[in-house]
């Protein structure tokens, strides 16, 4: 009877961790555009910034704490590693969001805009996506190793295949396609001649964005 209670407690704990992990991922999907919009819109309301940043800090710290508790109290196998990796991905996404938000804030309090701001944001997002991809690869590698040298099951193999397709293969394709498009766009922009101040003055040309 005690063993059944222990097993039920273990299963309920795992289910609770799954629910909390999914909730955290949904929260970062909601908080990410709000925080970035606050930084980009130059909104100076301290309360709005405090709410957005405090939510991001919570989503940064709590998944790490939960991953530590999972690894500390349970024997880490492939299924629990998926939960831990999900927590790590949430924290990585929040770190990227906070870094871009910090760039917006730095630009807000400067007299001149940051040079190559769009490129910096692109590279921050690229680094975040690469780290997420590496985490997914590590999960697949561990699951494959456990299936080959540990307990093999059709369920585990199915999860590895699905995880490999959606979190590794599709991410690799999307990242490579984004890189090629970015490189092609940069090549086309660099091939255009740069206008001199005299040409801009003669044609009464202005910036298409700020009209200056």
Which of 56, 87, 138, 207 is catalytic? The answer is 207
The whole-angstrom separation of Cα 168 and Cα 160 is: 10
207 is catalytic: yes
| Residue listed under structure tokens 């831990």 | 84
Are residues 172 and 165 in contact, defined by beta-carbon separation less than 8 angstroms? no
Minimal CA–CA distance to 89: which of 142, 123, 33, 134? Answer: 134
Residues 6+ apart with CB under 8 A from 119: none
User: Helix (H) and strand (E) counts for the chain?
Assistant: 7, 0
**Nearest residue to 25 (alpha-carbon basis) of 119, 94, 71:** 94
Annotated active-site positions, please? 207
């Amino acid at each position: 009877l005690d063993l059944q209670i222990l097993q039920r407690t273990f299963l309920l704990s795992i289910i609770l961790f799954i629910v909390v992990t999914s909730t955290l991922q949904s929260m970062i999907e909601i908080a990410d555009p709000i925080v970035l919009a606050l930084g980009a819109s130059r909104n100076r309301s301290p309360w709005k910034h405090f709410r957005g940043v405090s939510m991001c800090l919570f989503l940064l710290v709590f998944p790490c704490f939960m991953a530590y508790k999972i690894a500390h109290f349970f024997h880490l196998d492939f299924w629990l590693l998926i939960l831990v990796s999900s927590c790590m991905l949430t924290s990585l996404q929040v770190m990227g969001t906070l870094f871009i938000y910090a760039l917006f804030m730095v630009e807000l309090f400067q007299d001149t805009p940051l040079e190559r701001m769009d490129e910096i944001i692109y590279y921050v997002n690229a680094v975040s996506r690469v780290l997420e991809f590496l985490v997914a690869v590590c999960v697949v590698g561990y699951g494959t190793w456990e299936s080959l040298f540990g307990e093999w099951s059709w369920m585990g193999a199915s999860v590895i295949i699905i995880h490999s397709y959606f979190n590794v293969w599709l991410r690799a394709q999307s990242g490579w396609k984004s890189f090629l498009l970015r490189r092609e766009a940069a090549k086309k922009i660099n091939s255009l001649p740069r206008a001199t101040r005299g040409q801009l003055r003669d044609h009464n040309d202005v910036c298409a964005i700020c009209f200056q």
